[in-house]
Amino acid sequence: MNYLLGAFKPACNVLISFNDGKNRKQVPFKKENGQTVTVPLFHSQENIAGKITIEPMQGKKIDHNGIKVELLGQIEMYFDRGNFYDFTSLVRELDVPGEIYERKTYPFEFSTVEMPYETYNGVNVRLRYVLKVTINRGYAGSIIEYQDFVVRNYSPLPQINNSIKMEVGIEDCLHIEFEYNKSKYHLKDVIIGKIYFLLVRIKIKNMDLEIRRRESTGSGTNTHVETETLAKFELMDGAPVRGESIPIRLFLSPYELTPTHHNINNKFSVKYFLNLVLVDEEDRRYFKQQEITMYRLQETS
Amino acid sequence: MMIDGTEDEEKFLAAGIAGLQQNSFYMHRALDSNNLRDALKYSAQMLSELRTSKLSPHKYYELYMRAFDQLRKLEMFFEEETRRGCSIIDLYELVQHAGNILPRLYLLCTVGSVYIKSKEAPAKDVLKDLVEMCRGIQNPVRGLFLRSYLSQVSKDKLPDIGSEYEGDADTVSDAVEFVLQNFTEMNKLWVRMQHQGPSREKEKREKERNELRDLVGKNLHVLSQIEGVDLEMYKDVVLPRVLEQVVNCKDELAQFYLMDCIIQVFPDEYHLQTLDVLLGAYPQLQSSVDIKTVLSQLMERLSNYAASSAEVLPEFLQVEAFSKLSNAIGKVIEAQPDMPTAGVVTLYSSLLTFTLHVHPDRLDYADQVLGACVKNLSGKGKIEDKKATKQIVALLSAPLEKYNDIMTALKLSNYPHVMEFLDVPTNKVMATVIIQSIMKNGTRISTSDKVESLFELIKGLIKDSDGTPDDELDEDDFKEEQNSVARLIQMFYNDDPEEMLKIIETVRKHILTGGPKRLPFTVPPLMFSSLKLVRQLQGQSQSQEENPFGDDASTSPKKIFQLLNQTIETLSGVLAPELALQLCLQCAEAANDCELEPVAYEFFTQAYILYEEEISDSRAQVTAIHLIIGTLQRMHVFGVENRDTLTHKATGYSAKLLKKPDQCRAVYACSHLFWVDDHDNMKDGERVLLCLKRALRIANAAQQMANAARGSTGSVMLFIEILNKYLYFFEKGNPQVTVAAIQGLIELIMNEMQSDTATPDPSADAFLATTMRYIQFQKQKGGTVGEKYEPIKV
């Protein structure tokens, strides 16, 4: 952000506060410099209202060509650094050009703001919402202040949520059948399932269930795909024999998951996979990957 | 694996312990500061040490125990945590976040234990969840230990009858279900161990498996401790399920151990009531399983149970325990054709013991057992296997020990058939055992039939087995055996003379087949028991005062004597002339007492013939002649003529002995033949004196011979002995023995003793001194005796 100008010679303090700041839920937010701060949480269609206070430094006055506040939804691609793409941009003019001698407060409100996408912080891409206050000063450069906030959107319970059931194998070597109770999980869900061994001719050492996130950015030839393993959960220790069935119970809450994102503004997609990995005694890996859909469920509490 | 496995193992263990201690230290710190997250983190890290594959079960156990102690503390912490308001359900979820499965499951079991205690969920649900989740560990060693941990923490929280965890939703069947499932899984893991790893380490693996078996067996123990497992539940659920697992696992080690376990942990009463099911499993086991031991143990338990109280016996009858066991054994043997003979016999031996305990009154059962055994052994010939023969001896000894009575054993018709399978030495051992049993209990065998069957049993001792050379047999052992047979013969007795005679005839028939080596041992007892019968008859006839020895009577002494005569003849034929002679004389004396002159004469004749023809050893002759003289002296049945013949012969023999001193002694002994105290017609003083004088002459000759041969006169012993004879007859009133003769003899002795050439002989001196003192004593006695002695000067 353009702190430099303000930090160099802060002519005034700009303070952005929300009307319901005290009651609003705060969530941790990782800033791009690595620091984690807590910021307020909003949902789509909410009113975003508050006050902006401008307080000039002692004995200074600010000449300005107008003050405005913007609500921006931005997508930033890391390979295209510095280039923001605004998919949402709302503006409120706060003041006509003039001078500020003393502390001055401007209320603002964006009502029922459409914020279809969730805040997302990925490997190659970032989607963020921010309030941007600009004090226009023609000659000395504008004073700009940002306030991040997080948007999360709840999904309803899916109408159809089939289990994932599959039989896979390598002929005369390994044959298993596995089942996950659902194909769509909310972020605090539990994956229940089992693996049934139909044929085991290899010496298995252990079996893990991995949660993998695949983030693809850009489009066409310019597509970047990044896959991360977010969870590695050991399901089985030792070599099973034919007929064994191994239970799966994986709580998703400890992991930092996000909902599945499909082609957000033609910029990026985030998909989740369950990867069942069997490792044999020679450390060969046998795996089968299945996509699952993640969604955010309205927390009841 | 490595070149020096054990040393490396120690290193791995030490490293494991160090890691465990370090993490448990951090865990404790977290516990002290009530930091749940850190506690979970460090406990999971601590438990990660248990993920090692490098330790043998033995060492792994060491590590496990340390972790176990730590988990106890953690469990207490969890309990406190819930008391502080932490939801147990959250805790239950929280521990499942651990990424590694083994620590996760240990923690889950630990929290699960607290969960059940909290009663926030039905115990059965938690238990079911735990036992299901544990499936994730498929490594045998780690799985076994984990599940044994589960079993350990849950065993006091089962929804048993009367337990605080019992409720509407939780019944004892849930508890049973849980334990059974854990048992099944553990057994599967245990069985699987043998297939893992290279085959060259099979032996080592078997050893390791053996070390782990109690972990599996513990579950059965837990089952047996569940209050609610009553007979019905045991019968309907527990046993079938356990057996199913045992049979299906198809593993030798497991089947053996678990069958044994079942028998040991559950009450005998249950076994009795489920015999069908239990026994049904045996034939289905692997053929390599040592069924005999297990089955024997079952029967032993049941036997002890039966012995414990008479009240339970009806139960045995009710369930037809005997026939079931008997059938089962048959089936097992059929199913395992390779079972060694020893095994077969062991089974029957156990069954027999069982039968004897449970149905002591049903001899037919015992006989059936033996019969079945015979059937199974038939076609195998003599059994050479040492173990098998040992078992047969045990089998055959069982009825003897139980009934303490050979008579019962004799009623078992298959008993001798079983004995036939024994090789010769063992057969003898068994026969000896039988005899010892009879001796110990003092059993009298009172009919010839029984004697007959008894001899059938011990025929190994009675005669040489066909074609088997006896050469290798130890002389002492042989004597021992035959002595016991001799003792046995003494045990045959019946008051009824007729039956007794039959017995004697039977015995005779058998022992005569014994061959030359045995007869010297077996004939004498037969003779004596026959003579005993003779005396008994004699006693009876005297009291009844009827014509005692009518030839028409079936049992007459005459007849017996005829029998004895023949018997003795066989003995003389086998080079035991001395013994034959002794027996002849015994018979003669007995005949004497029965007033049977011809018989007595006949025996004497035989004795003389034996002496003349068979006894050539000079020492034996001396002994024999003294016996003849002694016996003859007591005979009163002979007429003058017969007596004269016999005494004349005896004197003649005496004079013909080889050594002079022997001659001398025999001759002076003969003097008694002419002087029998109670019979006046047998007092012939002249011939007495003749004998004594002759003895003196011989003594003189002996003295001279000694002088000539060695240059010194021998002992005066003979003279002193003769002097004593003189004194004896003097005192008895033989007119031919005079004071002058005695006086002369004393002087002679004195001279001899004082002569220069005499060799000093302290015993002779002492003897003489005593003799002299005797004379003095008689003198001082006064009366007629004193008067008589008066003239003798000392």
pLDDT in tens, B546-575: 444 444 455 677 777 887 877 777 776 666
Is the domain B288-443 a CATH 3.40.1440 member? no
From chain A, pick out residues whose CB is under 8 angstroms from the CB of B143.
237-238
Q: Of B642, B626, B554, which is closest to residue B592 (Cα–Cα)?
A: B642
Q: Which of B36, B47, B54, B101 is the best substitution to test chain A (most A C-beta atoms within 10 A)?
A: B101
* Residue contact B136–A247, C-beta within 8 A: yes
Q: A-chain residues within 8 Å CB-CB of B135?
A: 244-247
Q: Report CB contact under 8 Å: A238, B137.
A: yes
Please tell me whether residues A139 and A252 are part of one structural domain. Answer: no
In a domain, A122, yes or no: yes
Tens of pLDDT, residues B323-366: 888 888 888 888 877 777 888 888 888 888 888 888 888 888 88
Contact A246 B100 (CB under 8 A): no
Task: Kindly report, residue by residue over B576-605, the tens digit of the pLDDT.
Answer: 778 888 888 888 888 888 888 888 888 888
d(CA B248, CA A162): 37
User: Which residue out of A197, A234, A245, A301 would a mutagenesis test of the B interface target, given it has the greatest number of B Cβ atoms within 10 Å?
Assistant: A234
Facing residue for A238 by CB, picked from B99, B132, B143: B143
Instruction: Find the helix packing angle between B717-732 and B685-710, rounded to 10°.
Output: 170
Nearest chain A residue to B132, by CA = A247
CB nearest to B139's CB, from A238, A244, A247: A238
* Rounded-to-10 torsion of CA B766, B770, B772, B774: 180
| Alpha-carbon distance A244 to nearest alpha carbon in chain B (angstroms) | 8
Q: With contacts defined as CB-CB under 8 Å, which chain A residues touch B99?
A: 231-234
Q: Give CA–CA dist B17/B66, Å, rounded.
A: 8
Other C-beta atoms within 10 Å of B90: how many? Answer: 12
Q: Model pTM?
A: 0.73
Domain boundary among A122, A151, A180: A151
Residues A136, A198, single domain; the answer is: no
| DSSP 3-state of A188 | coil
Find the domain containing A23 and state its range.
Answer: 12-151
DSSP 8-state symbol, B236: I
- Name residues of chain B where pLDDT drops below 50: 1-3, 544-552
Question: How near does any CA of chain B get to the CA of A275, in Å?
Answer: 15
Residue in this structure with the two tokens 């009919």, named with its chain if needed: B447
Q: What pLDDT is recorded for position B546?
A: 45
Of A231, A232, A235, Cβ closest to residue B136: A235
Contact A244 B51 (CB under 8 A): no
How do beta strands A285-295 and A184-186 pair? parallel
A236 and B138 within 8 Å at the Cβ level: the answer is yes
Residue with tokens 């945590």: B81
Quick one: pLDDT at residue A149? 94
Identify the CATH number of the domain in which residue A249 sits: 2.60.40.640
Chain A hits for B93, CB-CB cut-off 8 Å, are: 251
* Same domain flag for A209 and A78: no
What local confidence, expressed as pLDDT, does residue B523 receive? 81
- A244:B137 CB<8 A: no
Helices (H), B226-312: 231-233, 239-249, 252-265, 268-273, 275-281, 291-308
| One domain for residues A78 and A178 | no
| Minimum distance, in Å, between the CA of residue A86 and any CA atom of chain B | 39
For residue A208, being part of any structural domain is answered with yes
Among B100, B132, B138, whose Cβ lies nearest the Cβ of A238?
B138
Q: Which of A234, A241, A247 minimises the CB distance to B100? A: A234
For the residues A219-248, what does the mean pLDDT come to?
A: 92
Residues A198, A253, single domain; the answer is: yes
d(CA B493, CA B438): 13
Per residue in A34-47, pLDDT (tens digit) is: 888 999 999 999 99
Domain check: are A20 and A143 in the same one? yes
**Residue of B108, B135, B142, B249 to mutate, interface with A, max A Cβ within 10 Å:** B135
Domains of chain A: total: 2
Contact residues of B toward A, CB < 8 A: 51, 93, 96-97, 99-102, 104, 132-133, 135-140, 142-143, 188, 192, 196
Quick one: A131 and A248 in the same domain?
no
CB-based contact B137 A236, cutoff 8 Å? yes
Residues from chain B contacting residue A233 (CB–CB below 8 Å): 99
Q: Considering only alpha carbons, which residue of chain B is nearest residue A245?
A: B135
CB contact under 8 A, A232 and B99: yes
Please name the member of B96, B139, B192 whose beta carbon is closest to the beta carbon of A251: B96
3-state percent helix, strand, coil for chain B, nearest multiple of 5: 75, 0, 20
- Measured between alpha carbons, how far is B535 from B527 in angstroms, rounded to an integer? 12
* Closest residue, chain A, to B104 (C-alpha): A234
Among the listed residues B359, B334, B355, B354, the one whose alpha carbon sits nearest the alpha carbon of residue B344: B334
* Contact (CB, 8 A) for B91 and B111: yes
A23 and A99 in a single domain? The answer is yes
| Beta strand A125-135 pairing with A67-77 | antiparallel
Among A232, A238, A253, whose Cβ lies nearest the Cβ of B142? Answer: A238
Domain identity same for A145 and A22:
yes
Residues A181 and A229 in one domain: yes
Rounded CA-CA distance B73/B65 in Å is 13
- Which of A151, A176, A197 is the last residue before a domain boundary? A151
Of B99, B133, B140, the CB nearest to A234: B99
* CA geometry: angle A32, B37, B53, nearest 5 deg: 105
Q: DSSP letter for B466, please.
A: T
Chain B residues touching A246 at Cβ < 8 A:
135-136, 138
Structure tokens at B188: 């599967």
Strand A125-135, strand A143-151: pairing: antiparallel
Q: Please, what is the end-to-end C-alpha distance for chain B in angstroms?
A: 107
Q: Could you give the ipTM of this predicted complex?
A: 0.89
* DSSP SS3 for B290: coil
For the sheet containing A174-180, what is the strand order?
Answer: A164-170, A174-180, A190-200, A245-251
Q: How far is B182 from chain A (nearest CA, A)?
A: 14
CA distance A218 to A239: 43
Task: For residue B132, list chain A residues with Cβ-Cβ distance below 8 A.
Answer: 247
In angstroms, rounded to a whole number, what is the distance separating the alpha carbons of residues A42 and A38? 13
CB pairs under 8 A between A and B: 55
How far is the alpha carbon of A195 from chain B, nearest alpha carbon, in Å?
10
CB contact under 8 A, A234 and B97: no
First to last CA, chain A: 36
User: How far is the alpha carbon of A206 from chain B, nearest alpha carbon, in Å?
Assistant: 9
Report CA A294 to chain centroid distance, whole Å: 12
Within-domain flag for A301 = no
Would A188 be classed as within a structural domain? yes
Q: Is the pLDDT of residue A163 over 50?
A: yes
Interface test with B, best of A204, A230, A249, A283 (most B CBs within 10 A): A249
Nearest chain A alpha carbon to B146: A237
Q: Which of B132, B139, B142 sits opposite A247 (nearest CB)?
A: B132
Interval A222-231 mean pLDDT: 92
Q: Identify residue A5 by its one-letter amino acid code.
A: L
Does A5 map to a domain? no
Domain boundary among A97, A117, A151: A151
**Identity at A205, one-letter amino acid code:** K
Nearest CA in chain B to A205: B139
Cβ of A239 within 8 Å of Cβ of B138? The answer is yes
Which residues does chain A have within 8 Å of residue B101's beta carbon, measured at their own beta carbons?
206, 234-237
- Across chain B, what does the average pLDDT equal? 84
Contact state of A238 with B51 under an 8 Å Cβ cutoff? no
Average pLDDT score over chain A:
90
pLDDT digits (tens, 9 = 90+) for A247-300: 999 999 999 999 999 999 989 999 999 999 999 999 999 999 999 999 999 876
Q: Which residue of B has its CA nearest to A233?
A: B99
The confidence band for A1, taking pLDDT boundaries of 50, 70 and 90, is very low
Give the residue on A whose Cα is nearest the Cα of B138.
A238
Whether residue A168 is found in the same domain as residue A147: no
> Contacts of residue B188 in chain A, CB cutoff 8 Å?
241
Rounded Cα gap, residues B114 and B318, in angstroms: 47
Residues of A with CB under 8 A from a CB of B: 204, 206, 231-241, 244-247, 249, 251, 253-254
Distance (Å) from the C-alpha of residue B137 to the closest C-alpha of chain A? 5
Q: Residues of A with CB below 8 A from B100's CB?
A: 234
